[in-house]
C-alpha cells in the first residue's frame, strides 16, 4: 500500500432496522381474560344444557312438585316423572303424595308426558287408580303410550294389553295424510328417535312441505325417494322398532304370550342385521315359554 493511499474506513456495525425498532405488541391482561372466559363458556354451555335436560339430575320434594305442574315445559314434567318412578321403584313411601298427579297426567296433551306417565304407574301396583287409568290408556292415539300402558299392566298380572305388546314388535308404517310429492328424505338404515323427521311431503306449490315424523324410535327400513308422487293414504316409510322396545315386549310376552304371538316373535330369533344377541336369545326363550304354557 502506498503512502498516498489511505485505508478504507471500517463501516459501523449495522443498527436495528425500522421493523426491529417497532415495539412488540403484547397481549393485555384484559384480552387474556376475555380469551379465557370465551374458552370457558365454550366448555360450560354444553354442560349446562346437558345438566338442565338430564333426567337423572336429583330433584328435591319442592322441585318435584313444581316440575310436575310446569305445563309450559313438558320436559320438566318428564324429568319429575322419571325421578318419581325411581323413588317408587325403591319403595319410597313419601312418593305416594304425588300419586294423584300421575292420574292427572294420564290425559296430558303431550304424548311424551303420557308415555312416561304410563311407565311410571307400573312401578307400584298398589297405587290407587293406577290399574284403571292404564286400562284407559290402552285406547290412546299414540302407539308408544298404548305399548307402555300394556307393559305396565303386565306388572299387575293383567294381560289385557297383549295385542298392544305384540304391536311393539311390528314395524311402523307411515302413510301420507294427503297426496303430494316427496321433496326430501332421510337415508335407509338411519337410526331415528320418536318424532324424528323421516321425510318432507309437498302438498301444493303455495304451502310449506309437510314434515313426516316417526311415531316410534327405531331404524328406517324403507322410505320413498325424493320426487316420488304419493297418493293420499299411500306408504311413505316403514320404521323397524328400536332394540329397547323389542326387548321389553319380548320380556312381557315371556310371561303372558300366546301361540298366536309366535309369528311376531320368530323374526327376532334369526341372525338379521341390527338385532343383538341378547334380543335374539330373549326371543328364543320367549318362544319356549309360550310353547311350554301351550302344552
Instruction: Return the higher-pLDDT residue of 159 and 25.
Output: 159
Query: Does residue 162 carry a pLDDT above 90?
Result: yes
Does the domain at residues 51-167 carry the CATH identifier 1.25.10.10?
yes
Question: What was the pLDDT predicted at 225?
Answer: 93
pLDDT on residue 53: 47
Average pLDDT over residues 178-199: 92
| Overall average pLDDT of the 239-260 stretch | 95
pLDDT at residue number 205 = 79
% of the chain with per-residue pLDDT over 90? 72
What is the mean pLDDT of the segment spanning 162-186? 94
Statement: residue 36 has pLDDT above 90 = no
Residues 6+ apart with CB under 8 A from 151: 119, 122, 161, 165, 248, 249, 252
Q: Residue 109: how many CA atoms within 13 Å on its side-chain side? A: 3
Task: Compute the CA torsion angle 268, 273, 278, 282 (nearest 10 deg).
Answer: 0
Q: Find the angle CA(86)-CA(92)-CA(93) to the nearest 5 degrees.
A: 140
pLDDT above 70 covers a percentage of the chain that reads 81
- In the chain, what are the domain boundaries? 51-167, 172-241
pLDDT tens for 91-107 read 999 999 999 999 999 99
Report which secondary-structure segment, H or E, holds 162: helix 162-167
CA 116 from centroid of its chain's CA atoms: 12
Query: 57 versus 142: which is more confidently predicted?
Result: 142
| Residue 3 in this model has a pLDDT that exceeds 60 | no
pLDDT, one tens digit per residue, over 48-58 is 343 344 455 78
| pLDDT interval class at 30 (50, 70, 90) | confident
Q: What is the CATH number of domain 172-241?
A: 2.40.50.100
Average pLDDT, the chain: 85
pLDDT category, 126, cuts 50, 70, 90? very high
Q: What is the pLDDT of residue 11?
A: 52
pLDDT digits (tens, 9 = 90+) for 191-234: 999 899 999 999 987 788 999 999 999 999 999 999 999 999 99
Amino acid at each position: 500500500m502506498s503512502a498516498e493511499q489511505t485505508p478504507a474506513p471500517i463501516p459501523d456495525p449495522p443498527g436495528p432496522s425500522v421493523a426491529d425498532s417497532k415495539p412488540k405488541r403484547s397481549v393485555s391482561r384484559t384480552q387474556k381474560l376475555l380469551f379465557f372466559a370465551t374458552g370457558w363458556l365454550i366448555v360450560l354451555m354444553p354442560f349446562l344444557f346437558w345438566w338442565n335436560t338430564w333426567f337423572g339430575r336429583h330433584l328435591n320434594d319442592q322441585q318435584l312438585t313444581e316440575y310436575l305442574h310446569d305445563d309450559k315445559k313438558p320436559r320438566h314434567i318428564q324429568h319429575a316423572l322419571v325421578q318419581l318412578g325411581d323413588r317408587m321403584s325403591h319403595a319410597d313411601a313419601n312418593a305416594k303424595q304425588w300419586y294423584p298427579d300421575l292420574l292427572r297426567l294420564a290425559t296430558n296433551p303431550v304424548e311424551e308426558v303420557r308415555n312416561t306417565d304410563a311407565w311410571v304407574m307400573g312401578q307400584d301396583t298398589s297405587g290407587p287408580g293406577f290399574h284403571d287409568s292404564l286400562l284407559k290408556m290402552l285406547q290412546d292415539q299414540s302407539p308408544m303410550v298404548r305399548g307402555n300402558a300394556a307393559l305396565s299392566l303386565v306388572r299387575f298380572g293383567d294381560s289385557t294389553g297383549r295385542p298392544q305388546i305384540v304391536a311393539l314388535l311390528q314395524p311402523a308404517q307411515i302413510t301420507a295424510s294427503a297426496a303430494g310429492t316427496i321433496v326430501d328424505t332421510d337415508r335407509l338404515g338411519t337410526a331415528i328417535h320418536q318424532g324424528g323427521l323421516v321425510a318432507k311431503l309437498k302438498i301444493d306449490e303455495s304451502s310449506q312441505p309437510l314434515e313426516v315424523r316417526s311415531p316410534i324410535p327405531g331404524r328406517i327400513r324403507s322410505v320413498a325417494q325424493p320426487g316420488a308422487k304419493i297418493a293420499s293414504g299411500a306408504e311413505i316409510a316403514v320404521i323397524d322398532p328400536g332394540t329397547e322396545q323389542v326387548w321389553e315386549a319380548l320380556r312381557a310376552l315371556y310371561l303372558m304370550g300366546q301361540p298366536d304371538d309366535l309369528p311376531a316373535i320368530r323374526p327376532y330369533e334369526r341372525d338379521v342385521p341390527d338385532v343383538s344377541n341378547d334380543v335374539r336369545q330373549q326371543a328364543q326363550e320367549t318362544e319356549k315359554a309360550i310353547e311350554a304354557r301351550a302344552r
